[in-house]
Amino acid sequence: MAAGDSFYITTPIFYVNDVPHIGHAYTEVASDVLARWHRQRGDDTWLLTGTDEHGQKILRTAVANDTSPQAWADTLVESAWKPLLATIDIHNDDFIRTTDERHEKAVTIFLQKLYDDGHIYSGEYEGYYCVGCEEYKQLDDLMETPDGDYAGQLVCKIHGRPIEILKEKNYFFRMSAFQQQLLDLYANQPDFVQPASVRNEIVSFVSAGLNDLSISRSSFDWGIKVPWDDSHVVYVWFDALLNYVTAVGYGVDDAQFQRRWPAVHIVGKDIARFHAVIWPAMLMAAGLEVPRAVFGHGWLLVGGEKMSKSKLTGIAPNEITDTFGSDAFRYYFLSAITFGQDGSFSWEDLSARYQAELANGFGNLASRVIAMVTRYFDGAIPVAEPDAAILAVAKKATDAANRAIDAFAINEALSATWQLVDALNGYITEREPWALAKDPADRGKLEVVLATAVRGLGTLAVLLSPVLTKATEKLWASLGGTGAIDAQPIDRAWEWTGGPSVTPLDGTLFPRIEAEAPAE
């Protein structure tokens, strides 16, 4: 991508039936890092997140809590979902709620267009429904449980809860008509669905044949009314997927829509099918461009299972950030897990990586270098030609990290950057600036070592700014960087020359954690 291009990236919108856990936060952080990276490259970037508030799941939760679904959603959004963004330091450009008037209005416009163009018909539906997934299920998606509370019943493989049998008059979207167009899309744009494991699953799913999709419900009324029949509300997924276009002006602000759309969607692999099959079919029917890409990331596992509140394995993000801080949260999940694969969370692994990589690897490097410049040069950054080998590592790390981001390989971007952390630590150990400082005859050598080290730190501050937002801001101030750290061109991080002087760091970037981590 050329700098200045539009880069519109979205997170899934989150169900407000419960409070966030670290699985939700993981999706947010990954999307935020990609957005920050593109912003720092000068792209016309827009990060959208929000909440999914209609449907039976929310309605039932509200009723169980003796309140209305709107009041329930309002409370959860304000007390849990918006605060999550501050907890993990998300820089979103917009927050959409499916109960926003702008959304409801544009959904109505979209639906009416599909109806007028003959893509919708009324019919009879009979089938299995999982309220947890808010999805109609095929037998393949279900299993019989041998024991436990639901012994002998058919349960959803994802939620482990019994499904319901629905029989209703519904409106249907002629999704089957788009089978070939979808297969052509996957063939012509091989990176439309990523990673390959998710792509393969999607291609084989669509190759097996597509059914039409029931897109309305009449047995309850918590949803957007179908414009031509107000005894029906729009199926929650049909409503939810549209947030990606209603938030950027679909149907009401053409200039904004043209500027932003199409988007890159970051989603968990469990909801990739909705995004890579139903959603592009809906867009095709409306004559709109399909998304630029759908990336399905893996699950955070606890005890080998997908973490979830309903299975009581959920961990709240602030349980981690209260002790380790938001930078460590962001770094840990993105560096320890290959983006696109499942990963297990453990407190031990988090603590060990915090100590080894952030505190000892990066934080200590910054403290030592700044302290030495302060002590030996009174804070004035020595002016000397930096070491060519280290400079080459910095250039390689910058290029490799930027390439990795284009391939959604966030963990690779971090490991490429860590090559520079390790190279700088090795360089300092080998050159022993504290020994050079003892002999005035070595002054020139000392200047080169510290000029090189400071230059490397500047590169690291710029390259790590999308992930370690707070530590790099601190480091940048201490290095005397001009302008905001997140405005430094990230594709030229290695060119940073900095100076003229450092000021001592206010404490360390990653303090020692004395407190016991909460028990698992």
Binding of ligand MSP by 224 (CB under 6 A): no
Q: Is 12 an interacting residue with respect to ligand MSP (CB under 6 A)?
A: yes
Tell the burial category of 225 from Cβ atoms under 10 Å away from its Cβ (0-12, 13-18, 19+). Answer: middle
Binding part of the chain for ligand MSP, among 13-21, 252-260, 282-290, 400-408 by CB under 6 A, reads 13-21
Read off the tokens for 389: 């080998």
Residue with tokens 């993990």: 88
Q: Tell me: does residue 333 bind ligand MSP (CB under 6 A).
A: no
Both tokens of 231, joined, read: 């005894």
Residue nearest to ligand MSP (CB): 268
What is the spatial distance between Cα 204 and Cα 183, in angstroms, rounded to a whole number?
A: 10
Nearest to 47 by CA among 9, 95, 87, 90: 9
Catalytic residue check, 156: yes
Q: Which of 47, 114, 282, 300 binds ligand MSP (CB under 6 A)?
A: 300
Nearer to ligand MSP, 205 or 364 (CB): 205
Active site residue 169: no
Cβ distance to ligand MSP smaller for residue 236 or 451: 236
Task: With contacts defined by CB under 6 A, name the span among 40-48, 305-313, 360-368, 452-460 that binds ligand MSP.
Answer: 305-313
**Residue count at the site for ligand MSP (CB under 6 A)?**
21
Up-side HSE of residue 212: CA atoms within 13 Å toward CB?
18
Task: Tally helices (H) and strands (E) across the chain.
Answer: 21, 18
d(CA 327, CA 75) in angstroms, rounded, equals 28
Catalytic, out of 159, 311, 396, 445: 159
- For residue 265, indicate whether it is catalytic: no
Residue 53 is a binding residue for ligand MSP (CB under 6 A)? no
Q: How far is the CB of 27 from ligand MSP (least distance, A)?
A: 5
Q: How many angstroms separate the Cα of 90 from the Cα of each of 75, 84, 266, 357, 410?
A: 20, 8, 15, 22, 16
Interface residue with ligand MSP among 212, 270, 486, 495 (CB under 6 A) is 270
Minimal distance, residue 60 CB to ligand MSP, in Å: 15
Is 137 an annotated catalytic residue? no
Our finding on whether 240 is near ligand MSP (CB under 6 A) is yes
CA torsion through residues 368, 371, 374, 375, sign:
negative
Q: Look at the alpha carbons of 181, 341, 402, 464 in this order and tell me if their dihedral is positive or negative.
A: positive
Determine the Cα–Cα distance for residues 287 and 282; give it in Å rounded to an integer.
9
Spell out the residues 6+ positions from residue 209 whose beta carbon is closer than 8 angstroms to its own.
Answer: 176, 179
φ/ψ of residue 125, rounded to 5: -120, 135
Q: Which two tokens stand for residue 296?
A: 């399905």
Nearer to ligand MSP, 247 or 450 (CB): 247
Q: Which is nearer to ligand MSP, 172 or 244 (CB)?
A: 244
- Tell the smallest beta-carbon distance from residue 298 to ligand MSP (Å): 7
Least distance in Å: CB of 168 to ligand MSP? Answer: 22
Whole-angstrom Cα distance, residue 133 to residue 271? 9
Applying CB under 6 A, does 110 fall inside the site for ligand MSP? no
For ligand MSP, the closer of residues 307 and 493 by Cβ is 307
Q: Is 23 in the site for ligand MSP (CB under 6 A)?
A: yes
Is 241 one of the binding residues for ligand MSP (CB under 6 A)? yes
Among 33, 267, 277, 282, binds ligand MSP (CB under 6 A): 267
26 part of the interface to ligand MSP, by CB under 6 A: yes
Using CB under 6 A as the criterion, which residues of the chain lie in contact with ligand MSP when the complex forms?
12-15, 23-24, 26-27, 52, 240-241, 243, 267-268, 270-271, 299-300, 306-308
